[in-house]
Structure 1
Amino acid sequence: MNSRRTFLQHLTVSAGILPFAIGSSAYIQPESEYIPEVQDGPVLKVALMGLGSYADRVAKAMQDCKRAKITGLISGTPDKLESWGAKYDVPEGSRYNYENFDAIKDNPEIDAVYIITPNAQHHGQCLRVAAAGKHVICEKPMSINAQEGKEMVEACEKAGVKLLIGYRMHFEANTLNAVRKRQNGDLGEVKFFQGLSGFIIGDPTQWRLDKDLAGGGAMMDIGIYAINGARYMVGEEPIWVTAQEVKTDPVKFKEGVDETITFQLGFPSGVIASCLSTYSMNYLDKFFLLGDKGFVEMQPSTGYGPIKAWSHDGDITKPHVTHQTTQMDQMAAIIYDGKKPEIPVDGEEGLKDMKIIDAIFLAVKSGQKVNLNLG
């Protein structure tokens, strides 16, 4: 089954031939200078919920983690529980299905649950995990609308547990380097951002094309990268959005399942972000941030890596480290050490993206500019 994740993986292979290097005089620092340090501390014991293709990627990456370990499994497929349990040394007593996973409450070998299930299931599963007293790590988008996201934040706050969203790019070296260049004034005054996110989706029967499971189409899958990227690259919160939808295949993309949406975000400083989210075009994984003194460009910008980045003064690509390995180690530090990430990954961060997605769908429907209040 094709997915954004398969596409992004393939995209990085072809990206090696892109003309990303502008000049060759940029100083290349030793690899050790870019890899985020992981302080010694307690190991986060994690149960993976939803044992699909992305969970497989996360599980493999976690084998290299210093502070996160797989200690539990939750799935509706008994065969997966058995095979994954054997592969990752998870005892039968820490394997659960979707009916009985509330029993994790009494399992001291589970500190957190990483929810990697279809979007529409995140809300209910998050509330149950929080009620069991375990920290929640939830894949993006955190829910199918802002109301559900708000309830997830409130449930975790009430239970006294952390809610973190799987924004792996917030820990990625090239992304952080690009953001720092803007913060340091290397680009001057920011003027414009472009975010392109898309691929041609395959199997028409997959859950990502089922509105009841996905909550939409491309926007709820690949489009959130452009939304979230616009926010951390520009360094402001948008105050309005306009959007237009194009649908060329109403059979594959049924009512409520978007094929292609172009959208524009306006920021308080006057910066405009022009973005595209699509399930019908390949080779779209690009960020471009322009200032009055320079620019930063990334392509691929959100794939599994290696990410490629360059600016007006040369190649700024950092060495590749598996994103999910860094993500899980850093999330352990957030939960146990109170570490504050450079770019937030908490529930409030996820909720802001959901408010923007709600507004994009409203702008498509109404044809009008929709004001945003992300406070």
Structure 2
Amino acid sequence: MPHEARAVVAVKKGAPVEVLPILVPDPGPGDVLVTVQACGVCHTDLHYRDGAIGEEFPYLLGHEAAGVVEAVGPGVTDLSPGDYVVLAWRAPCGQCRSCRRGRPWYCFDSRNAGRPMTLTDGTPLTAALGIGAFAEKTLVAAGQAVKVDASARPEAAGLIGCGVMAGYGAAVHTGAVGSGDTVAVIGCGGVGNAAIAGASRAGARRVIAVDIDDGKLDAAERFGATDTVNSRGTNPVEAVRALTGGHGADVVIDAVGRPETYRQGFYMRDLAGTLVQVGVPGPEMTIELPLIDLFARGGALKSSWYGDCLPSRDFPVLIDLYLSGKLHLDRFVSETIGLQDIEPAFAKMQRGEVLRSVVAL
């Protein structure tokens, strides 16, 4: 029997979101029903609202969430009602060509719930990133619900489900930051500060935060940045080179995802250095670089998908780091809000006033 719940829905492109009643079905084979406790407000949700990701309206927004399993469907054996979980938007299928080659973090056929959630009139909802967690309850594939230590505060734990994992993994997995490396991170929002925390945790001897906002640079220092560069009035490439003996950084992480920041990151690297793009660009953006520079500078240009993470492996590790005081997730939580406060939270995010607004249910 369907469960009625309040949820945040983007009904049509560019329009303010609405809090509406929805129907969440009982879990079918391989699915779990989750009572959501907290969900972070991410730029991706705004992209969905504005039609920058797709046109499959209405969208059920929200995807950075923690909660408790309420019911499991047939065939689910590794989760039980009462389990505390963080939701992931990648649930490896185990069968695609990437999974079969031992690279499940690149799964090309990630699992989602088998039954749609709907408006009360039966209109199917498209769940953002296959989750849809700005809701009192949501239905996901069992592989999307990762069991973690229940003592972790849900407002902090849920952030691992997207932004924190993306940034942390961009440094640790994609960028392969190692002991003694120099690292520059462009953009010190939630993802960028998670990359700073990951680089610091991986043993980088110098972590340089680059942003145009002094407040964000102050926050970056609290996550482990050893140096800061305000690029509003300073050439960031020259500044990073000056801080690295004239060479450039071993690893540069672009957490903004714009042509100008990508170009800065490309030239901010040392010879044979690595550039990681984790900031999500708009579909209209393009980049042009001299081919001779691509050849002569060498190194690696990488895109980081979800921090190249394997949620079942990485989420519990990050939660353990949080509980031991080695990953300060609470510092990402700028405010807690209700479902009715999503539009103001979007505006604060666009103005750069918050790292994360978190809906507490």
How high is the TM-score relative to the length of structure 1? 0.35
How high is the TM-score relative to the length of structure 2? 0.36
Q: Which of structures 1 and 2 has the larger relative contact order (alpha carbons within 8 angstroms, sep 6+)? A: 1
* Structure with more of its chain in helix, by fraction: 1
